[in-house]
Amino acid sequence: MMDKAAVVRIAREEWRFWLRSRTAVAAAAVVFILVITSLVSTAIRIETEREARLQLQAIAEETFRSQPARHPHRMIHYGHYVFRAPAPLATADPGVDPYTGTVMFLEGHKQNSATFSPRYTQADAGPYAFLSPALTYQLLVPLLLIVVGFACLARERETRTDQLVFTMAVNPGSFWLGKSLALAALAFATLVPLGFVAGNAWLQGENGWIALTFWLGYAVYLLCWVFLITACSVWSKRASTSLLALLACWMVLNVLLPRIASSAADAWAPLAGKVQSDLEIARELRDVGDGHNANDPSFAKLRAQLLAQYDVSSVEELPINFRGVVAEAAEEELTETLNRFADRRFDQELAQAELANAFSLLSPYLALKSFSITTASTNIGQHHLFLRSAEALRFSFVQSLNKVHAEVLTYADDVNRSVDQQSEQRTRVDAHHWRVLEDFDWEPASVSDRLSGSLPFFGMLLMWALAASILGWIGTSRGAWSQDG
Amino acid sequence: MNSSPPKPVLTAESLTVDRGGHQVLSGVEFSIAQGEIFALLGGNGAGKSTTLLTFLGFVTPTSGVARVNGQSVHEDIKAIHKQVAYLPEAANLYPHLNARENLDYFLSLAKADNSRARIDSALDMVGLAASARDRRLEAYSKGMRQKVGIALAILRDAPILLLDEPTSGLDPVAIDEFNSLVVALAGEGTTVLMVTHDVYGACQVARHIGLLQKGQMVGDFRASAGNPISADEVHRKFTESHL
């Protein structure tokens, strides 16, 4: 039977021990400062970026739409920028954002890669820029819990104070639970700042369940470490053995396995290099006709179809501008090819991520990492969603301008536009056509997708917490404290 | 009128303990009646502390049984601990707490009265200076820590006292006070099992002494009516057994 009063009293006494221990207080102070610093600095940076990107997005749209009358194809090459505004929870976990690029230049006949806004590259390049709040919680807070809690039970065993405690009719299970409660309270204290960040994300439009789930995931992760630490402490005859075992666990679970997971994923699902991909794309695009050349033999069939459809004998007689139609058809074919390569690339990246995710079973750190970026909308899948949204916008505005090209300009004016200035003027279409550009509505994955995507990882974290608690419980119930062993 | 012998409170029945391939106790037998002070004497490594730890359930006997009020210790360890107050050899208390805090903590775990007045009264009884009571135990001498341990054992109000080298580190005055206290408690019905290597101290307080040598009982001494156990006799036997 569990004695609740004894459990709470044991936890309180452990806190008193820590508060009177300079090592524990110093370790806690350092980690709290790191947590607060990383949270504040990341929040400021992400907020600044969000505002700037939203502002730049509006400026880019306005700039495009306010261009003077031009030839529509010039507008296709004039292009447009889209910016990926960080998700509200990116303040806690920027995920893959710092590595994947957040700005894209959209133009005709090309699918450009996402790049970084040069304005923020310098800020991201600081020596501790990697220290996001997520990383602090994933790597450093467990270290704090180890430093503070490794001896919580082994110390008592070493000094035999545990025997005196048990002769007070306290059962070993209550003793272990009291120590676990003390460590869990410390873990939860470190989670208070993260709670504020999750709350702030909710105020900024993040779904409340997502914000809560995000925080809960970190709570369960730290609970895994709490139970792992008390289990290790209960099984160790000496505090020094417990510390060494826990540091080894931390190294394996948080450093070695992630490294192995990443290398294994890279080896088992290799990605094609950029040069190789570009060469393959170029090879395939050679078969796609040149959309700038209406006489390209690739469009002979299209020409014949149109002449038959409109029952005319030459393109000059067509009621639409054949050059615009060719541009539209070429863009469609080219986009289809580019999308095929993009899909292949996305599939490869997802396969790689899934392989790495499989290692989450072996490491709570990996499980939390995957859980965190999935919930926060900062994983590779979200980046793909951004790229697809950007591509959809690119294709839409390019094809809309090609349509203007085909329907507003006459073929005769178009082919003679370089004859004199007046001819050139006639090929300029009114600026109101630039309003074909739609707003870039980049939306993260739906709440249900994010919750269902993060659920397996949450389950793995629960499994780890349960396994570690069972390990500790077995240690107490089989009398790990008795003098027999 | 038939007077049946008093029911034994603590009984060791052929207690044998092996640890790490080495026999620490071998067929140890004794029984202690209510209100009796039993001193288990022996040199270093004789198995005295192991006997005590077996009665506390911290050591599982290889064979034989340790019983408290007829119940095997390993049947319901928590029930046994409710009846027993234990004073470890090194008075293993928390060095980061002061005397009052230590006592308050342990008493609250034992669900015993942990009022400050009661704690102070016990500390008065063991002679711990009032000025020392709010100092952390890390600054205490061994004797001072021992006094706090004794105070805890008293405060438990347990019917059985298990004492491991209780006078270790105490000054002569404190030893006399402690001995008087143990005798008084036994007079009130408390059963005492005390392990020590202090022959003369044991003979002062105990009415029954067992001599342990390499895990075996090699001597059993009882005080007769009005006559204490002869320290010289015990000392002679103790020395002979070590030859």
pLDDT band at A399 (very low <50, low <70, confident <90, very high): confident
**Residue B74 within a domain:** yes
pLDDT band at B5 (very low <50, low <70, confident <90, very high): low
Contacts of B86 in chain A (CB under 8 A): 163-164, 167
| Nearest Cα to Cα of residue A179 among A159, A138, A150, A217 | A150
Query: Is it the case that residue A150 has pLDDT exceeding 90?
Result: yes
B101 and B21 belong to one structural domain: no
Contacts of B17 in chain A (CB under 8 A): none
What pLDDT shows up at residue B242? 66
**Residue B77 within a domain:** yes
| Nearest Cα to Cα of residue A147 among A224, A242, A218, A231 | A242
What pLDDT shows up at residue B210? 93
The structural domain count of chain B equals 2
Query: Of the candidates B140, B157, B174, which is a domain's last residue?
Result: B157
**Residue B177 within a domain:** yes
B229 and B137 belong to one structural domain: no
B77 and B164 belong to one structural domain: yes
B117 and B167 belong to one structural domain: no
Domain residue limits at B106 = 93-157
B30 and B74 belong to one structural domain: yes
B171 and B233 belong to one structural domain: yes
**Residue B130 within a domain:** yes
> Do B58 and A482 count as a contact with CB atoms less than 8 A apart?
yes
The chain-wide mean pLDDT, for chain A, equals 86
What pLDDT shows up at residue A328? 86
Q: How many CB pairs under 8 A join A and B?
A: 72
Report residue B55 as tokens. Answer: 């009665």
Query: What tens digit of pLDDT does each residue of B25-34 get?
Result: 999 999 999 9
Contacts of A6 in chain B (CB under 8 A): 109
B140 and B235 belong to one structural domain: no
List residues of chain A with CB under 8 Å from any CB of chain B.
5-6, 9-10, 13, 16-17, 20-21, 159-161, 163-171, 481-484
What pLDDT shows up at residue A177? 95
CATH of the domain at B14: 3.40.50.300
Query: What tens digit of pLDDT does each residue of B101-111 get?
Result: 999 999 999 99
| Nearest Cα to Cα of residue A333 among A393, A387, A290, A293 | A290
Report residue A280 as tokens. Answer: 């393959």
What pLDDT shows up at residue A485? 38
What pLDDT shows up at residue B29? 93
The proportion of chain A whose per-residue pLDDT surpasses 90, expressed as a percent, equals 37
B20 and B75 belong to one structural domain: yes
Instruction: Give the one of B82, B88, B97 whose C-beta lies nearest to A169's C-beta.
Output: B82
Query: What tens digit of pLDDT does each residue of A415-433 get?
Result: 777 777 777 777 787 877 7
Of the ranges A217-226, A312-321, A344-353, which is most confident? A217-226
Residue A477 contacts residue A173 (beta carbons within 8 Å):
yes
B74 and B179 belong to one structural domain: yes
Under DSSP, the state recorded for A432 is: G
Q: Whole-prediction pTM value?
A: 0.86
Instruction: Give A146→chain B minimum CA distance, Å.
Output: 20
Residue B73 contacts residue B117 (beta carbons within 8 Å):
no
> Do A17 and B96 count as a contact with CB atoms less than 8 A apart?
yes
**Residue B110 within a domain:** yes
Write down the residue that tokens 């002062």 correspond to: B204
What pLDDT shows up at residue A480? 45
What pLDDT shows up at residue A253? 96
Query: Of the candidates B139, B157, B175, which is a domain's last residue?
Result: B157
Query: What tens digit of pLDDT does each residue of B115-167 get?
Result: 999 999 999 988 899 999 999 999 998 888 888 998 999 999 899 999 998 88
Query: Of the candidates B104, B135, B157, which is a domain's last residue?
Result: B157
Residue A389 contacts residue A440 (beta carbons within 8 Å):
yes
The ipTM of this complex is: 0.91
What is residue B38's three-state secondary structure?
strand
B16 and B71 belong to one structural domain: yes
**Residue B206 within a domain:** yes
Count H helices and E strands in chain A, helices first.
Answer: 22, 2
B201 and B129 belong to one structural domain: no
**Residue B88 within a domain:** no
Write down the residue that tokens 């192995």 correspond to: A260
Q: Report, as an integer, the average pLDDT of A181-188.
A: 96
What pLDDT shows up at residue A484? 45
Residue of A nearest to B95 (CA): A17
Residue of B nearest to A12 (CA): B105
B176 and B75 belong to one structural domain: yes
pLDDT band at A124 (very low <50, low <70, confident <90, very high): low
The proportion of chain B whose per-residue pLDDT surpasses 90, expressed as a percent, equals 54
Query: What tens digit of pLDDT does each residue of B165-203 get?
Result: 888 878 888 888 888 888 988 999 999 999 988 888 888
Residue A245 contacts residue A236 (beta carbons within 8 Å):
yes
